Amino acid sequence: MKMHTRQALVLGFAIVIAGSGVGRAQSAPTEENQAGSTAQSNSTASDKPHDEKFVIGNDDVLAISVWKEPDLTKSIPVRSDGKISLPLVGEMQATGKTPIQLERDISEKLKGFITAPEVTVIVQQVLSRRFNVLGEVSKPGAYPLTAATTIVDALATAGGLRDFAKKTGIYVLRKGPGGQQERLKFNYKDFLKGKNVNQNIKVEPNDTIIVP
């Protein structure tokens, strides 16, 4: 009897230990998930609605909103003189500023009318920075230059080359610092072969890519 009782106690103790181990194993992923969820929420909270480095230009369309002020929340194009006009604020220079800088300027103007104004400026349409792709491409036209774009990127944006495009005769027309027009050659065949890859330069605003 004593042996049976002792064996039963040992077996019961082992079951208790095993059970607690399973409980810890199940709770561990929950804690990790909570940590991951917290990190994700922190990451989301730190996201910003616009690029701090983007500089507003003429013809760009801005979405301007003022919290709890529907009359001051609207979509406004930047005029050719680089200015916008808002109720209470009047005319204000927008070209040459980042959205965050413009937010601060509008907020300062509104402080005389609104307590602690909360202003958000987002570039709704980028029309000041464009490049053109003309000639033997699938979709010739003007395209917004919203990010770093190479000649190959630009050709892809325009739908790629047509069957009879002259791949060795592509060139970029670009205005130089003095206003003179430069002609930069691009040999697409060489690029595909890995030759002279440095010719795949970044596109600049107002560049025109010609595909003969």
- Identify the pLDDT of residue 51: 61
CA-CA-CA-CA torsion sign (97, 101, 105, 106): positive
CA 25 – CA 12 distance, rounded (Å): 20
Q: If 0-12 CB within 10 Å is exposed, 13-18 middle and 19+ buried, where does residue 73 land?
A: middle
CATH topology of domain 130-211: Outer membrane lipoprotein wza fold like (3.10.560)
Q: What tens-digit pLDDT sequence spans the chain (212 residues)?
A: 444 545 544 444 444 444 544 444 444 444 444 434 433 433 333 344 456 778 999 999 999 999 999 999 999 999 999 999 999 999 999 999 999 999 999 999 999 999 999 999 999 998 899 999 999 999 999 999 888 899 999 999 999 999 999 999 999 999 988 888 999 999 999 999 999 999 999 999 999 999 99
What are the phi and psi torsion angles at 25 (to 5°)?
-65, -35
- Identify the pLDDT of residue 54: 85
Q: Which one-letter DSSP state was computed for residue 137?
A: B
Token pair 């070209």 in the structure block, residue: 95
The fourth-level CATH superfamily of domain 61-125 is: wza like domain (3.30.1950.10)
**What are the residue boundaries of the structural domains of the chain, listed by start?**
1-47, 61-125, 130-211
Is residue 155 within 8 A of residue 209, CB to CB? The reply is yes
CA 48 – CA 109 distance, rounded (Å): 23
How do strand 181-186 and strand 74-77 relate by DSSP bridges?
Answer: unpaired
pTM recorded for the entire structure: 0.58
Determine the longest span between alpha carbons in the chain, in angstroms: 108
Token digits of residue 177: 């610092």
User: Could you give the 3-state DSSP secondary structure of residue 18?
Assistant: helix
Is residue 186 within 8 A of residue 151, CB to CB? The reply is yes
